[in-house]
Amino acid sequence: MTIKEIIEVTGAQLICGESNIDNIIEFAFSSDLMSDVLTQDSDQVLLITGLSNLQTIRTAEMADINYILIVRGKAISNDMIRLAEENHISLLQSDLSMFHISGLLYAQDLKPIF
């Protein structure tokens, strides 16, 4: 799926990282625990998370994750956007719950990493 298709399916809003909009994403991982994200070997996945702080972006940077969808309508700070832009990370935001977003995307083409 492309970011564009993810936006169409979930109604999420693109906060930054427009240049990635046509990139193809195959896998997704849902977690609020960054320690869990850091134990995954896969990269180039969509991270679906309700944790919205600088460490969310830092974790993605270290784990080579370029796409983050913040769920449950959590606020995204300007510092987060700045850091995401610096690292060419696309940030998306949705008011839906993690389960809802995961279900919508699972029903499409996105695969779990395990």
Interacting residues with another protein (CB under 8 A): 32-36, 38-39, 43, 51, 53-56, 58-59, 61-64, 79
Choose between 58 and 100: whose C-beta lies nearer to another protein: 58
Choose between 33 and 113: whose C-beta lies nearer to another protein: 33
Helices marked H in 1-114 — which ranges? 3-10, 34-37, 54-62, 78-86, 98-106
- Exposed e or buried b per residue across 61-72, where buried means at least 16 C-beta atoms within 10 angstroms of its C-beta: bebebbbbbbbb
Choose between 78 and 107: whose C-beta lies nearer to another protein: 78
At closest approach, how far in Å is the CB of 55 from another protein?
5
At closest approach, how far in Å is the CB of 108 from another protein?
27
φ, ψ (nearest 5 deg) of residue 10: -100, -15
